[in-house]
Structure 1
Amino acid sequence: MSQASNAPFNSPFQQLHGRIVVSCQADEGDPLDDLDTLNRIATSVLRGGAGGLRAEGVTRIAAFRSLTDLPIIGIIKAYDANGDVYITPDFFSAKAISDAGADIIALDCTARRLTAPEPWTELIPRIHAELHRPVLADIASLEDAVAAERAGADAVATTLYGYTAETAGIRTPSWPLLQALVAHLTVPILLEGHITHPPDALHALTLGATAVVVGSAITRPETITRRFVGVARQKNLHFTNDQADDAV
């Protein structure tokens, strides 16, 4: 499936070309899990120059829609009995976030979802036909991405790299995966996940990513603080070991 054939759905991705999208989310129980707080975070990142937002849930998407005309990538998270998270798993979820004002519907398009009651191979054409929204395929591998493009996805994002059984626990961007996506796909490619420093975003754009989605490194003080504290603890441990060596 080429970009040309998806022309009616390309506009939001054209707007995002070369931009930073900020994912404004908070897990249940997080101190930031409050609509007014997330609204303020979204307002701040928009003032900082974000080219778009990624948001979870109808209420948050609707609130962010009132803040900006820039593209909003919408999702709904669902959890199975094992606690595994799935992104926008059915048409009901897709319609809800479309009605709330999302410009782009993101779906879990990994191989694990092919046997779901509503597999993404069926959801993509239905979203196009009934909601008239572009679909962003959240993937974890080149194979996922190629299959999603063939099924009609309008763009792909590396969102689920690190969150499938094959990639579990990886918390750094896969530059080889990005390079493979650029080499094999014709649809826009968003690098999402594990970006912690501005040079990472620049590198992704240089390699050919259409846009970069950044979340925790911008919006989550707890995660940012933990990173700094970790460095301080390493330094303190090094200092303590040096003291022990001196005492020997």
Structure 2
Amino acid sequence: MPKGSNSSFNSLFHLLRGRIIVSCQAAEGDPLDDLDTLTRIATSVLRGGAGGLRAEGTTRIAAFRALTQLPIIGIIKTCDANGDVYITPDFRSAKAVVDAGADIVALDCTARRLTAPEPWTELIPRTHTELRRPVLADIASLEDALAAERAGADAVATTLYGYTTETAGIRSPSWPLLQSLLAHLTVPVLLEGHITHPTEALQALDMGATAVVIGSAITRPETITNRFVQVTRQTDIQPSSK
């Protein structure tokens, strides 16, 4: 567990270098939105070789903590009146994920949160000094990432690329964004979001990403099945003559 020094924070991300981190989450209303089910999924991905987990909510984080001593990235998602989702938007939620057992706190470090009542520029130092945990800045652009690094973030992840106003609807990894992050940042960079094939994870690591976070492509049968269905529907399959 990190004790609040930069060296210990760095060693935690060094532990994740070259690894696949699996995000074991389920949206509200998803058939998998069940603590026992998600805990079983987490157990399975750990047996498969995952180097760490990403978890949402205190009950899930605590359940996963009981499974492993590998790093856990903890978040709490909240939704505003417009339906926009934010990741660990205040100190209360950051403290909650740490109390539940998270090793790393992921914060929404996009520009849209700079005018929030508790902007992430204030949450990063408080997470370091009061919670003694490193911060993973979830970003959507190079500008977000540079600002987060200046504010003291210990690592950045491309988690919110595709989910901000400027990037809305994009559902594929941005290799130019990853390349820019690696060229301009000194902190570890994690590729997260829209990975669908092992070759994409390998490409990210070969480019220099510290680790790759994968969610739906591993943990959501509905999404995986739909991907196969959409491809086969686009193919003109002739009925067998037999």
Which TM-score band applies after superposition, normalised by the shorter structure? over 0.9
Question: How far apart are the structure 2 equivalents of 1:164 and 1:6?
Answer: 30
2:234 aligned counterpart, secondary structure = helix
Shift, 1:96, TM fit: 0.3
Aligned to 1:182: 182
Aligned to 2:160: 160
Aligned to 2:142: 142
Aligned to 2:8: 8
Shift, 1:234, TM fit: 1.0
**Is 1:212 equivalent to 2:220 in the alignment?**
no
What is the number of equivalent residue pairs in this alignment? 235
Question: How far apart are the structure 1 equivalents of 2:46 and 2:123?
Answer: 31
Shift, 1:7, TM fit: 2.1
Question: How far apart are the structure 2 equivalents of 1:239 and 1:35?
Answer: 40
Shift, 1:112, TM fit: 0.2
Superposed CA offset, 1:44-87 (max 9, x none): 00000000000000000000000000000000000000110000
Question: How far apart are the structure 2 equivalents of 1:101 and 1:157?
Answer: 21
**Is 1:60 equivalent to 2:74 in the alignment?**
no
**What amino acid does structure 1 have at the position aligned with 2:132?**
H
1:10 aligned counterpart, secondary structure = helix
* Cα-Cα RMSD: 1.2
**What amino acid does structure 2 have at the position aligned with 1:96?**
A
Q: 1:146 to 1:230 in 2, by over 3 A?
A: same
Question: How far apart are the structure 1 equivalents of 2:38 and 2:216?
Answer: 13
**Is 1:81 equivalent to 2:114 in the alignment?**
no
Alignment of 1:19-98 (within 5 A): 19-98=19-98
Question: How far apart are the structure 1 equivalents of 2:129 and 2:160?
Answer: 26
**What amino acid does structure 1 have at the position aligned with 2:55?**
A
Aligned to 1:114: 114
1:54 aligned counterpart, secondary structure = strand
**Is 1:102 equivalent to 2:102 in the alignment?**
yes
Question: How far apart are the structure 1 equivalents of 2:188 and 2:55?
Answer: 19
1:144 aligned counterpart, secondary structure = helix
Superposed CA offset, 1:210-237 (max 9, x none): 00000000000000000011111112xx
Gaps of 5+ in 2: none
1:32 aligned counterpart, secondary structure = coil
Aligned to 2:171: 171
**What amino acid does structure 2 have at the position aligned with 1:58?**
T
**What amino acid does structure 2 have at the position aligned with 1:110?**
T
Shift, 1:6, TM fit: 2.9
Question: How far apart are the structure 1 equivalents of 2:11 and 2:33?
Answer: 31
Question: Given the two structures, how large is their TM-score scaled by the length of structure 1?
Answer: 0.93
Shift, 1:239, TM fit: 4.2
**Is 1:197 equivalent to 2:194 in the alignment?**
no
Question: How far apart are the structure 2 equivalents of 1:68 and 1:109?
Answer: 28
Worse overlay, 54-63 or 11-20: 11-20
2:172 aligned counterpart, secondary structure = coil
Shift, 1:131, TM fit: 0.3
Runs of 4+ in 1 over 6 A off after TM superposition: none
Superposed CA offset, 1:32-55 (max 9, x none): 000000000000000000000000
Aligned to 1:243: none
2:82 aligned counterpart, secondary structure = coil
Question: Given the two structures, how large is their TM-score scaled by the length of structure 2?
Answer: 0.95
Superposed CA offset, 1:164-192 (max 9, x none): 00000000000000000000000000000
Identity over the aligned pairs, expressed in percent? 83
Aligned to 2:229: 229
Question: How far apart are the structure 1 equivalents of 2:36 and 2:66?
Answer: 13
Higher fraction of helix? 1
